[in-house]
Amino acid sequence: MKKMIYMIFLLIVILFLSSCTKSNQFNYYSLREDISKVEIIHVNTQWELEYEVLNELSENEVEVFLEKLSEINYTKALFGDPGTLDDEKCIKITYKSGDFDIVTSYLIVKFDANNSQIRWESIIMDKSIVSEKYNVLIEEYGE
C-alpha cells in the first residue's frame, strides 16, 4: 500500500514538473491602444543596449504588423539558457509610458523608460514554428 501511495505521489510531482510552460501571445486589441511606435532594430550589444534602427513602421504599417505579430504564439520556458540579443534583428515595441519590449524569435526582454532591464522571458518551446513566422515578419518589415 505504501508503494502505491509513493508511486501516485511521484506521478503527481512529475506531472507538475513537466508542465512548466506558459503560453503567451501578443494581443492585437490591447497592444494597438498602448503602443507609441514599432521599430525593426539590429542589436549590436545587449549589455549597453546599443542598436541601430533599420525601419520605423508608419501608423498604417503598425496596424497590419500587430495583427501578424498577434498570430505568433510564444510558449515561455520557466528555466533554461535565456540566450542573447547580441547581433540580432529584433522588434522593438515602445509603449506610451516609455517602457519597451525587444522581441526576437526566441525571447522577449522588457525594459523600462530608462533602458533598465525589467524582465527576461525565454520562449524557446516551439522554436522552429515561431522562428519561421518571426523571420517572415522581419523580412517583410526589416528594411
CA distance to 65, 102, 106, 136, per residue, from 42 (Å) = 18, 10, 15, 16
pLDDT of residue 15: 57
pLDDT at 14: 66
pLDDT tens per residue across span 23-66? 556 777 777 788 999 999 999 887 788 899 999 999 889 989 98
In a domain, 116, yes or no: yes
Structural domain including 130 reads 21-141
Q: Could you tell me the pLDDT band of residue 136, with boundaries at 50, 70 and 90?
A: confident
Task: Evaluate whether residue 14 is within a structural domain.
Answer: no
29 in a structural domain: yes
Q: Answer yes or no: is 26 within a domain.
A: yes
**What's the first-to-final CA gap in the chain, in angstroms?**
66
Q: What is the pLDDT of residue 36?
A: 92
Residue 5 lies in a domain: no
Number of domains the chain is built from: 1
Question: Could you tell me if residue 54 is inside a domain?
Answer: yes
Does some domain include residue 15? no
Residue 117 has pLDDT above 60, yes or no: yes
Does residue 120 lie in a domain region? yes
Q: What is the mean pLDDT of the chain?
A: 79
**Lowest-confidence region among 40-54, 85-99, 110-124:** 110-124
CA 47 to chain centre: 18
